[in-house]
Amino acid sequence: QSVLTQPPSVSGAPGQRVTISCTGGSSNIGAGYDVHWYQQLPGTAPKLLIYGNINRPSGVPDRFSGSKSVTSASLAITGLQAEDEADYYCQSYDTSLSGSVFGTGTKVTVL
C-alpha cells in the first residue's frame, strides 16, 4: 500500500556519494507535507536520520543530507562508509490515507 516509491538498492564504494530518491504524489509530498528519513541497520529498529525534509537530529553526521522537490525527496550520503550499509526509508503524511506512509525502502551496499 506504499505510495512513496524508492529504488530497491543503491551501492557505492567507500568515500563516494550516493543518493536515494523518494517519489510521491499530490496527496503527500506534493501537498507540502514534510518528509522524514530513517536508517535501519541490520537486526535493529529504525532510527530517525533526517526530519522536516532537511534537518538532522543531534548525533547524525553531516555526511547525511536531505532535500525536497515538488513531489519527491532525496537523501544523500557523502563520504560513504562501511557503517552506512543499511536499509533507508522515507516517510510522509498522505491525505488520501489520513495517516503516515513509509517509502518502499532502499538497501545501501558499500562495495
Partner 1 sequence: QLQLQESGPGLVKPSETLSLTCTVSGGSLSSSNYYWGWIRQPPGKGLEWIGSIYYSGSTYYNPFLKSRVTISVDTSKNQFSLNLSSVTAADTAVYYCARAPRYSRTRFDPWGQGTLVTVSS
Footprint of partner 1 (CB under 8 A):
1-2, 33-34, 36, 38, 44-48, 51-52, 57, 89, 91-93, 97-105
- Pairing status of strand 9-12 against strand 106-110: parallel
Between residues 16 and 73, which has the closer beta carbon with respect to partner 1? Answer: 73
Between residues 84 and 94, which has the closer beta carbon with respect to partner 1? Answer: 94
Q: Which residues contact 106 (CB under 8 A, 6 or more apart)?
A: 6, 7, 8, 9, 10, 20, 87, 88, 89
Shortest Å, Cβ 72 to partner 1: 17
Between residues 74 and 91, which has the closer beta carbon with respect to partner 1? Answer: 91
Shortest Å, Cβ 1 to partner 1: 6
